[in-house]
Structure formats: C-alpha cells, structure tokens
Amino acid sequence: MRVLAAPDKFRGTVTAAEAAAAIAAGVRESHPRARVREVPLSDGGEGFTDAFGGANRVSVVTGPLGEPTPAGWRLSGRTAVIEMAAASGLALVGGPEANDPVAASTRGTGELIGEAVDLGARRIFVGHGGSATTDGGLAALQALFPTPRLRGVELIAAVDVRCRFLDAAREFAGQKGASASQIELLSRRLERLAQVYLEDHGVDVVEIEGGGAAGGLAGGLAAVGASVVSGFELIAEELDLASAVEEADLVVTGEGFVDAASFDGKVVGGVAELAREFDVPVVVVAGEVFDGAGERVEAISLVERFGRERALADAAGCLAEVVAERLADA
C-alpha cells in the first residue's frame, strides 16, 4: 500500500509536519509494510516555510509593533521563502488583545525581502496569513526603498483568501483587535493608499483578487511587481504534488477545522480535488467538521471520536489512532 500523508497544520495543536508524521505512524501501525510519503502542506498561511523544508536562516527584523524580532526564513539557491507571520504576525504581539491594530506594520516583512534580494535571491515566495497588520503593505515597501532593486526578481505573494484590497480591514481587522471605529479608520487609510499606489506605481490594486491578504500586504507587493497567487497552488506546483497523488493508493489529508471554506483555495479542498482527478481515494481527518463538509468527502472528526479534551491535548496521538482504525480493514 502506498499512502500519501499531505495535511495542513492543526492550528494550536500540531504543525503540518507533525500531523504528517502522526498519519504515517497510524498507517504503519495497521500496515507495517506500507510505503508512506509525508508531504506537509500550507495554503500560504502559517507553516508556509515548513512546506518548502523549513527555515535555514534567522534575521532580526522590526516586529509588528517596532520591537526587534528574530524571524526564520529560507534561502535555497536563488529561491527565498518568507512567511510574513514570522516577521509581522499576530502571535508575535500576544494575540488580538495585545495588538495595536492601527500601528502594527509590515516593515519586518519588507526587511526580510530586502535581505533576500541582497543575498542574491531571484525568486521570492512570501506566504501571507496570521498577520497583525492592516497597513496595506506600506511599511514593507518603505523598507524595500528604492523599489527598483526588485527589478529582475520574481516576487510572488502566496495567499489563502480572495479578499480584495479595500475589504481587508472590514473582513479581518476585527480579528486583529480593531474596534469598529478603528476598522473604519483603517478602511479609509487603505482607500487613500490604493490611490497612492496607482499614482506612484501605475498599478490599480483595488481589483486584484487576494490583494487584501495580510491586511493588504499582497496588494502593496503587487504595486511593485509581485504576482498574487493561491498559496496552495504555488506549493502544489513547486512540490509536484500531482505526481505524489497519482502514485498513491490512498491520500490522507486534514486540518484543524474542515468546513465549506476548506474547499475554496485551502489545503483540504485542493488535495481532495487532485485525488478526484487521479481517481485516488482520499480521507480527511480534522479536529472538527462543520457545514456538512463530511458529505463532500470522507471526513473523520477527532473531537467526535475522542472528545474535545483529548483531541486538543493529544492531537498527534488521536491522528495516529484514528488513521490506524480507518485502515485496519483496508
């Protein structure tokens, strides 16, 4: 039996790599001779760098609220992989309660991009997700000044949402600690910034799908030449995920919460679609399953099987156990 373990992270419990290892352990428990390929994935949010092999460099940059912050990133040959959350993430400031959503900036992300360019990177992938910011990427571009240094560099903003630039504050700033009045202030700031980007760079960021990712960082990077793409599709292409799926007899994927949104540019939906294309059975294991998602794919809920307390405290153990159970008769 050839099994592909290709999960996303289970946020707050296990990383994608830990989830893949747990799935592999469950497969081998029920089928000791099975060949398991572990491919931890991301949709552009947290875990983006890990999907490419993990960080192999650490740089001290400006954190979201101005504090010096060590940020891991990856440089392999002339390709750099940067996870904006490592430099400008909400977790760095202690969550929404400790954030200053108006002051929070993407300067550190711009500093990482600049360092990658200075070290010779000519392809730079920037994963969006988990941001503390709604600055439209302005601070990142200021850190990159003068932006002509980006000529000859393929800059790619990898996103996991379709949110447009002007909608970034209203859709996500509340999750970053912004009050209703701050959301309106941030929305007006994005409107002015879109005009500035059009005047200074000749790029209309307003209609770019995904341009509002990470509080508009994606739109800001697009203003200086970045392509805004699906994070999952980028990773799938770079890792040749299609070939891995085609070679498998079974694919096991999963994430912390599976709902209708999981099938719109996210890992679970993307993996399930590839499995259908190659007529390979797919099993989804999730912390919890909502919105009738179990009617679209075979989905197993850890909370339903083991109870919330154990599912949260021992997600890896639950993953391994439920996969072994599922494959016991296979």
Q: How do 154-159 and 123-127 pair as beta strands?
A: parallel
**d(Cα 274, Cα 271) in Å, to the nearest integer?**
5
Residue 293 has pLDDT above 90, yes or no: no
80 phi and psi angles, rounded to 5 deg: -115, 145
**What would the two tokens of residue 33 be?**
């001779």
For the residues of 76-117, what is the DSSP string, one character each?
ETTEEEEEHHHHHBGGGGTSGGG--TTT---HHHHHHHHHHH
315-to-20, 25, 145, 312, 328 alpha-carbon distances in Å: 12, 13, 44, 6, 20
> Is omega for the bond preceding 281 within 30 degrees of 0, making it cis?
no
The residue behind tokens 């990142």 is 140
Residues 6+ apart with CB under 8 A from 91: 85, 130
Question: Are the C-beta atoms of 285 and 294 separated by less than 8 Å?
Answer: no
Torsion angle of alpha carbons 59, 63, 67, 73, nearest 10°?
-20
Element (H, E) at 223: helix 213-223
pLDDT tier, 45 (very low <50, low <70, confident <90, very high otherwise): confident
2-41+240-327: CATH class: alpha beta
Contact 38, 20 (CB under 8 A): yes
How far is the C-alpha of 312 from the C-alpha of 23, rounded, in Å? Answer: 16
Coil, helix or strand for 49? helix
Answer whether residue 329 shows pLDDT above 80. Answer: no
pLDDT band for position 261 (cuts 50, 70, 90) = confident
In the chain, pLDDT over 70 holds for what percent of residues? 100
How confident is the model over 125-180, as pLDDT tens digits? 999 999 999 999 999 999 999 988 999 999 999 999 999 999 999 999 999 999 99
Of 75, 109, 114, residue with least CA distance to 89: 109
The predicted pLDDT at position 75 comes to 98
DSSP-assigned letter for residue 307: -
Under CATH, domain 48-232 is a member of which superfamily?
Answer: Glycerate kinase, domain 2 (3.90.1510.10)
Q: What is the pLDDT of residues 51-105, one digit of tens each?
A: 999 999 999 999 999 999 999 999 999 999 999 999 999 999 999 999 999 999 9
Contact 286, 301 (CB under 8 A): yes
In the chain, CATH 3.40.50.10350 sits at 2-41+240-327
User: Cβ atoms within 10 A of the Cβ of 99, count?
Assistant: 22
Q: State phi, psi for 146 to the nearest 5 degrees.
A: -80, 135
- The dihedrals phi and psi of 326, each to the nearest 5 degrees, come to -65, -35
Domain with CATH 3.90.1510.10 in the chain: 48-232
In the block, residue with structure tokens 């153990």? 317
**Among the listed ranges 93-97, 216-220, 258-262, 311-315, which one has the minimum average pLDDT value?**
258-262
Q: What pTM does this model have?
A: 0.93
Say yes or no to pLDDT of 27 above 80.
Answer: yes
